[in-house]
Structure 1
Amino acid sequence: MIDKVLSTMVEVIVPLSIPVISGALLGRYKNLDTKPLLTLYLYFLSPAIILDTLATAEISFDDVYKTLAFSLLNLLVLWALAKLIGRVLKLAPAEAAGLTLVSTFTNSVNYGLPLVLLAFGQLGLDKASVYVIAQMVIVNTVGVYFAARSQFSAGSAVRSVFSLPAIYAAILALLLRALGLHMPQEVASGVSMVAGAYSPVVLAILGVQMVRVQTAQAARNVQLAFWTGMSVRLVLAPLTAALLLFLLNISGTLFAVLLILASMPVAVNSVVLAERFGSSPALVSRCILWTTLASFLMLPLLISIVGSV
């Protein structure tokens, strides 16, 4: 088992770490501005990889149904766990909201997709595509609610979802599949070329964001919530995901991919919501950094386990 974990770490984590470390160094020593890169990622690279993947993905209706069912059930169970733990520990409203963000939203897009592609190949990326689209919708609707609650506006949440180009790319890809059509070869080649730039760019952005996470001077009332959030994301979340996948009778590559994506570290955009709506950004940012660092050890172990099941 140790040999397999080390092999997975070398084959998967080491390649991923190169753009992450490069981004971290550029952010630390060259003060790299990520705003243009985030615009590039959101409006160019993300739609391209979604369109390229969904248009040719080897996924069945059964895969789509099971993925969506798992996404919603996993969200509800983790939300309930976070709410229960927050009440038992008598966390303040801000820390309770921050714990909910930490527990429910993972870095499945800009870390999860490259990881799945390296670990499980194109088939794994195909299986991951529906989950990623579901997460984009959930973060921009339910995520806003979790962070804002009383400030939540259903209309603004819907508008935020339909401001994402990736949603339209997904709709286009699904329409093409439903009608049995294909993009012209020249267009498809161009889209594939753009999609190929997705992984290194978004991983470099992740590296920059990691070195800019503020973790110092956390208040004492944040410490308990921090360790609770770490425990939920690193221990309870994978166990919950595995149980739900068994209950939904999901197996094979889809099981492995969904388990890995559900066990990813805290989503980086969670701290954006936390800062905007006062949901303990100190707690969320610390959990982002440390769950990401812990994932470099935990994910190879998890990939090795699901690979042998």
Structure 2
Amino acid sequence: MIQTVLSTLIEVVVPLSVPIIAGALIERFQRLDTKPLLTLYLYFLSPAIILDTLAHAKISFGDIYLTAAFTLLNLLFLWGTASGISRIMKFSAPDQAGLTLVSVLTNSANYGIPLVLLAFGQAGLDKASVYIIGQMLIINTLGVYFAARSHFSVKNAVKSVLSLPAIYAAVLALLLRGFNWHLPAELDKGISMAAGAYSPVVLAILGAQMMKVVRMPSLTGERSVFWTGMAVRMLLAPLLALGVLTLLGITGTLRFVLLILASMPVAVNSVILAERFSASPTFVSRCILWTTLGSFLVLPVLIALVSGE
């Protein structure tokens, strides 16, 4: 078991850490401006990898159905857990909103995609594509609702989703698959080349964002919400995901991939929502940092466990 964990750590986490460390060092010494890179990620690299993956993915409609069912059930369980704990602990409204963001929104895109690709290969990434698109939808709809229920607008949420190029890339990929169409070979090669640039760029952005969090002022006030958020995301989330997977009877590679993606650290996008709607952004930012660092140890153990099943 220890040998398997160490092997996973070396083969998966070490390669991932290279662009993350590079991004952190550039931010530390050069003050990396991530806004242009985020624009590149959102409007070019993200739709490119979604289109490239979905258009060529070897995934059945049964897998799509099971992934959608898992995504919804897991979301409901995590939401209920965060709400229940908040009431028991008597957290303030901003802390409750922050805890919900930390519990529900995972970094399945910019961290999960390269991790799954390294750990499970292209077959794993094929299985992961539907879940990742689902998370994009959740962040831009329910994520807004979780952050500020009083500010939530269905119209604005729909508008936010429709502004995501990745959604149109997914629709195009589904049309291509449904009608058995194919992009011209030269265009397809260009999209695949852009998709290949996705992982190093987004991981470097993640490293820079983590370094920015390190420079933030120390967490003030009640620390119980921070440790609660860490416990839910790092401990309860994998257990709840495992329970839902067992309930739905999901097995094989799809089971392994969904368990890993559901155990990802807190989504970087959650701090954007927290800052916009005053949902304890300092608490959310620190959970992003420490769950990401913790994932370097937790995820290799999970991957080793599922690989041994």
Q: Distance in 1 between matches of 2:32 and 2:216?
A: 20
Separation in structure 1 between the aligned mates of residue 204 and residue 142 of structure 2, nearest angstrom: 27
Q: Aligned equivalents of 1:242 and 1:198: distance in 2?
A: 29
Matches within 5 A, 1:93-112: 93-112=93-112
Count of residue pairs brought into register by the alignment: 308
Within the alignment, does 1:284 sit opposite 2:284 as a pair? yes
User: What residue identity is the alignment partner of 2:284?
Assistant: V
Deviation readout 1:196-255 (Å, 9 max, x if unpaired):
00000000000000000155332222x100000000000000000000001111011000
Query: C-alpha distance in 2, partners of 1:282/1:208?
Result: 17
Structure 1 counterpart of 2:287, one-letter code: C
Equivalent residues in 2 for 1:205-216, closer than 5 Å: 205-213=205-213, 215-216=216-217
Residue deviations 1:62-112 (CA, integer Å, cap 9, x gap): 000000111111111000000000000000111011000000011000000
Structure 2 counterpart SS, 1:38: helix
Q: Partners of 1:145 and 1:307 in 2: how far apart?
A: 37
Q: SS of the residue aligned with 2:27?
A: helix
What one-letter code is carried by the residue in structure 1 that aligns with 2:118? L
Equivalent residue for 1:217? 218
Task: Give the match's secondary structure for 1:216.
Answer: coil
Q: Which residue does 2:30 correspond to in 1?
A: 30
| DSSP-derived class of the 2:111 partner | helix
**Partner residue in 2 for 1:203:** 203
Q: Take 1:105 and 1:131, find their aligned partners in 2: how far apart are those partners?
A: 12
Looking at structure 2, the residues matched to 10 and 24 of structure 1 have their Cα atoms a distance apart, in angstroms, of 20
Match of 1:183 in 2: 183
Q: Distance in 1 between matches of 2:65 and 2:53?
A: 18
Distance 1:30 1:260 in 2: 34
- The answer for the alignment partner of 1:266 in structure 2 is 266
Q: Which residue of 1 aligns with 2:14?
A: 14
Shift of 1:184: 1.1
Counterparts of 1:307 and 1:79, CA distance in 2: 29
SS of the residue 1:180 aligns to: coil
- Structure 1 residue 127 and structure 2 residue 142: aligned? no
> Secondary structure at the residue paired with 2:148?
helix
Structure 2 counterpart of 1:240: 240
Number of the residue aligned with 1:66 = 66
> Quick one: distance in 1 between partners of 2:88 and 2:216?
25
- Report the Cα distance in structure 2 between the residues aligned to 1:143 and 1:123, rounded to whole angstroms: 29
Q: Which 10-residue stretch deviates more, 291-300 or 207-216?
A: 207-216
Runs of 4+ with deviation above 2 angstroms: 214-217
Cα distance in 1, alignment partners of residues 261 and 243 from structure 2: 15
- In structure 2, the residue matched to 1:307 is 307
Aligned partner of 1:139 in structure 2 is 139
Q: Which moved more, 1:164-173 or 1:180-189?
A: 180-189
List per-residue Cα deviations over 1:263-288 (Å, max 9, x = no partner). 00000110110000010011101100
- Equivalent AA in structure 2 for residue 149 of structure 1: R
- Residue by residue, what CA displacement relative to the aligned partner does 1:142-187 show, whole Å, maximum 9, x if unpaired? 0000001011000000000010000000000000100011111111
After superposition, give the CA deviation of every residue in 1:8-64 in whole Å (9 maximum; x if it has no partner): 000000000000000000011011110110000000000000000000000000000
Identity rate, percent: 67
SS in 2 for 1:217: coil
SS of residue paired to 1:182: coil
Q: Which segments of 5 or more consecutive residues in structure 1 lack a partner in the other structure?
A: none
**Unmatched 5+ stretches in structure 2:** none
Give me the whole-angstrom Cα distance separating, in 1, the residues matched to 2:59 and 2:186: 24
Q: Secondary structure at the match of 2:109?
A: helix
Q: Which amino acid aligns with 2:147?
A: A
Aligned to 1:39: 39
* Cα separation, 2, equivalents of 1:282 and 1:258: 29
CA root-mean-square deviation? 0.7
3-state secondary structure, aligned to 1:110: coil
CA distance in structure 2 between the partners assigned to 1:19 and 1:187 by the alignment: 27
> How many Å apart are 1:257 and its aligned residue?
0.4
Matched position secondary structure for 2:110:
helix
Structure 1: distance between partners of 2:191 and 2:211: 31
